[in-house]
C-alpha cells in the first residue's frame, strides 16, 4: 500500500542555495522508463566522473549504461522532470560479486550506478542534487508523454526519444543503488521503490541526438543514438524514497 510505504518516514530539513529541502525526498506519483545498453568498457571509462574512485562494472565483458527518463508528478519538492545517463560502476580496485550485484545490489557496498549526466527541469531539484549528493545536474526543458502505447521524450536542444508499448513481463520494482562523490567522500544512496516494473519494447526504441549538450555529447561518445538497448523497463505509477545517503569509508 502506498500509505504504508511512506507512513514511517521521518524527514529532516536540509538547507540548499534554492531554499530548504525535506529529506528523504518522497516521490508519490510519477512515470519512468529505462533503457539498458551493453557498451564497450573502453568507451565508458573516460566518461566516468571521479575515475580515482570508480571504474566500470562489467558483465560478460561489457559495461552497462542506462538512459532513464522520469516524469515526477507528485513529490515533496514539487513536480519536475529528470533524465539520467548512468553507468554501473564499482569502487576502484574492488571486486563486487556479479551475481550479488544482479540479485541484490543493496548487499554489494562497492557497487552502484554513477551518473554521467542528470538534467532536470527545476532549479530546486538541481540545487538539491548538486549540493546534497554531488550529482551532475543542470537545468533544461524536458517534455515527456507517457501512455500505454507510446512514450515520447524531448530534451530541448539535445535529444529525442520514442518507445513503443511494453511486453507482457511484469516484476516487482527494484531499488536504485547510486554512487556519487561529494567533496572528498564517496556517497552511496539506496532509493527504495514501491512500484511494479513492466519489461519489453527494446525493438521499438528510437533515440536521436538533435543538438549538442552535456548529455547529447556523451550519448554520441557511447554510440547510443540509433542503437537498440538490451532491455527496456518502465513503471506508470512510480513511488520511491530518496534519502541523504551514506558516506563510505
At residue 227, the pLDDT reads: 97
What's the grid cell of residue 172? Answer: 516487482
Kindly report the CATH number assigned to the domain that includes residue 114. 2.40.400.10
Could you tell me where the DSSP H helices lie in 58-206? 98-103, 123-128
- The CA distances from residue 141 to 85, 150, 158, 225, in Å, are 16, 20, 10, 20
Ranges of the chain with pLDDT below 50: 1
> How many distinct structural domains can be found in the chain?
1
Q: Give pLDDT tens digits for 129-151.
A: 999 999 999 999 999 999 999 99
At residue 216, the pLDDT reads: 98
Peptide bond connecting 24 to the previous residue in cis, omega within 30 degrees of 0: yes
Query: pTM of the prediction?
Result: 0.96
The residue segments making up the domain with residue 228 are 2-247
At residue 1, the pLDDT reads: 47
Amino acid at each position: 500500500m502506498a500509505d504504508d510505504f511512506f507512513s514511517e518516514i521521518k524527514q529532516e530539513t536540509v538547507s540548499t542555495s534554492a531554499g530548504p529541502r525535506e529529506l528523504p525526498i518522497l516521490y508519490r506519483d510519477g512515470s519512468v522508463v529505462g533503457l539498458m545498453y551493453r557498451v564497450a568498457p573502453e568507451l565508458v571509462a573516460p566518461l566516468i566522473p571521479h575515475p580515482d574512485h570508480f571504474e566500470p562494472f562489467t558483465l560478460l565483458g561489457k559495461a552497462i549504461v542506462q538512459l532513464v527518463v522520469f516524469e515526477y508528478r507528485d513529490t515533496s519538492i514539487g513536480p519536475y522532470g529528470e533524465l539520467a545517463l548512468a553507468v554501473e560502476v564499482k569502487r576502484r580496485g574492488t571486486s563486487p560479486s556479479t551475481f550479488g550485484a544482479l540479485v541484490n545490489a543493496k548487499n554489494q557496498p562497492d557497487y552502484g550506478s554513477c551518473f554521467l549526466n542528470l538534467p532536470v527541469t527545476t532549479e530546486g531539484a538541481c540545487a538539491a542534487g548538486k549540493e546534497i549528493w554531488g550529482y551532475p545536474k543542470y537545468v533544461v526543458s524536458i517534455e515527456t508523454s507517457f501512455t500505454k502505447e507510446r512514450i515520447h521524450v524531448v530534451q530541448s536542444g539535445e535529444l529525442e526519444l520514442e518507445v513503443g508499448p511494453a511486453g507482457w513481463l511484469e516484476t516487482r520494482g527494484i531499488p536504485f543503488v547510486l554512487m556519487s562523490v561529494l567533496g572528498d567522500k564517496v556517497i552511496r544512496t539506496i532509493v527504495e521503490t514501491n512500484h511494479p516494473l513492466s519489461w519489453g519494447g527494446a525493438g521499438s526504441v528510437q533515440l536521436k541526438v538533435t543538438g549538442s549538450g552535456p548529455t547529447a555529447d556523451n550519448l554520441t561518445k557511447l554510440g547510443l543514438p540509433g542503437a537498440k538497448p538490451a532491455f527496456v523497463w518502465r513503471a506508470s505509477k512510480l513511488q520511491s524514497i530518496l534519502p541523504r545517503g551514506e558516506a563510505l569509508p
